[in-house]
Structure formats: structure tokens, C-alpha cells
Amino acid sequence: MNVTIRKGVKDDLPEVLKLIKELAEYEKALDSVTITLEELEKDGFGDHPWYWFLVAEDNNTIIGISFYFIRYSTWKGKFLYLEDFVINKANRQKGIGSLLFEATIQICKDENLNGMTWQVLDWNSPAIQFYKKYNAEISTEWLNGKLTKHQIHQITAH
């Protein structure tokens, strides 16, 4: 293998979308992926980028992504939020995830961020064990809240 890690570019987005869908299928939620290539292009490469990503490549083929944005904690300040982190199925358990995760950690250092956060499904034991190798805290006390665009548009102000 000849794995390299680099910053993602607009031309990578078709392969990025495939990996996003592969992760969603693994998480038993493929039907929930509604993002389009056009939205990814506009949101990541328009006047105000809303996200960034790193790619892991083997011989110029994208085999993994670290997809992130910067969030702000009123208690702690700037954090990197790791939205998606995936290595394609054929290339797992080869150390590529560690290279990509450590490159993401390096972004936190380079940008002088106060930390990195992410979510992991409670049944995803391989991912939990991976994160624990980095001495990560995996919380079981916080519950996720969410409103969809559809729900938001149905709410009337009082």
C-alpha cells in the first residue's frame, strides 16, 4: 500500500459521497442520506465553506475520509467536530484509520483548537475500541436532540 493523507478538494466529492453512503449503510441508515453532490459542492466550496475534509488515498484512489467542521462551545471555545470518519470496508484494519485520525488531530494542533468531538453509535464496538486507543472519553450520559428541516418548517412561533 502507498497511503497518503491530504486535504480534500472539490473533485474528490463524488468519491466522498460514496463513502458517506457506505458509512450510512453500515449504520443501517442509508435511506436517511439526502445530501446531493451539488449541495456538497456549494456548502464546502462556496463563498463560506461549512465543512472541510481529509482523504486517505492508496495509489490515487480515495479509501477514507475525515469530514469535519469547527463548532463553538460556550464553555470551552473552538472544537473540531468530526462529522464522519470512514475507511472503506476493503481497507479497514490496515492502520489507515490511525493515519487519518492522527492527521485530523494534527489539524486541532495546527489551528490551536481546544479539542475534538464526535459521535459514535453505542453498538459500534470496533469504532469505540478504535477511539479508546487514543484515550478518548466516550460519554453515555448525553442524549442527542434534533429537529429536521421539515419539523422546523412546521413549527409556528408563539
Which residues participate in catalysis according to the annotation?
A: 131
- 15 CB-contact burial (10 Å; exposed 0-12 / middle 13-18 / buried 19+): middle
C-alpha cell at 48: 463560506
**Cβ atoms 120, 128 nearer than 8 A:** yes
Closest CA to 82 of 63, 99, 67, 98: 67
**Residue 46 has which C-alpha cell?**
462556496
C-alpha cell at 4: 497518503
E strand or H helix at 66: strand 61-73
Q: Are 77 and 31 in contact (CB under 8 A)?
A: no
Closest CA to 51 of 85, 21, 82, 93: 82
